[in-house]
Amino acid sequence: MDKILRLIGLAKRGGNLEAGEEPVGAAARARDARVILVAGDAAENTFRRVRHFADAGQCIWLSIPCTKDELGGCIGRTSCAMVAVTDLGLASAIVKKLAEIDPDKYSLSAEKMTLKAQRAQERREEAARHEKNLRSGKKKKANGTPATKERIVTLPAEKTAQEKKPVREKKASPKPAYRKSEGGEKKFSKPRAKKPYRKPAEVRFANSRPVKKGKGSVKK
């Protein structure tokens, strides 16, 4: 039991432990608690609140064979009824030590903690691979294998549709006209636009019918 209390004290010094009802409840609601440990001589109401915290935080809670004074002494307090370990590695080590003391009572909890530690390790490895792929610029396919960059090489005999189109020749723009000023200098002026040819009115309206004047027409 001394080894377990030393591990709890190590978690306290490393900042991976919450002691007391309110801190343990806050850690459980925030899903930071990995395992909640309760002293063996705690009250029935304390066990009821610990079960509620474990259900809210989806973590394991265990009653350890020590008194409140012993649990408080390892973390620098006179008495403490419950603590929550927030580090997965330390929580797994504490549960393993408890399983060595009483296999019938703590072996199932030790297996659960081992499985959680394996899943957490797999998630960390997956996150590390993803970060590496982001730095190297690789992407993943649907089946999970990294996609390789493909290069499309075109043969010189092949021609694209743009090359097959005939190239239109640009018309030469007309040269700007210029006129001589009084001093003899040449001044450029814009060329005048040609007006479109229009036939005379007699030719355009030769075959048209005469307009009949109605009631509203003006008499001449």
The pairing of strands 17-19 and 82-85 is antiparallel
Q: In the CATH hierarchy, which fold is given to the domain comprising 2-136?
A: 60s Ribosomal Protein L30; Chain: A; (3.30.1330)
Domains of the chain by residue range = 2-136
pLDDT one-digit tens code per residue, 134-144? 877 665 555 55
Report the pLDDT value the prediction gives residue 164, as an integer from 0 to 100.
Answer: 55
Find tokens 């080590």 and name the residue. Answer: 93
Report the pLDDT value the prediction gives residue 153, as an integer from 0 to 100.
Answer: 55
The letter for the amino acid at 62 is: L
> Can you tell me the distance from the alpha carbon of 144 to that of 121, in angstroms, rounded to the nearest whole number?
19
Report the percent of the chain where pLDDT is more than 70. 69
Question: Which residues does the chain have with pLDDT short of 50?
Answer: 220
**Residue among 191, 56, 58, 182 nearest 116 (CA):** 58
CA end-to-end span of the chain, whole Å? 129
Burial of 81 (0-12, 13-18, 19+ CB in 10 A): buried
Are 33 and 84 in contact, with CB atoms under 8 Å apart? yes
pLDDT one-digit tens code per residue, 21-64? 899 999 999 988 899 999 988 889 999 999 999 998 888 899 88
Chain-wide mean pLDDT for the chain?
77
The letter for the amino acid at 219 is: K
Report the pLDDT value the prediction gives residue 208, as an integer from 0 to 100.
Answer: 75
What are the Cα distances from residue 211, in Å, to 91, 141, 207? 107, 79, 13
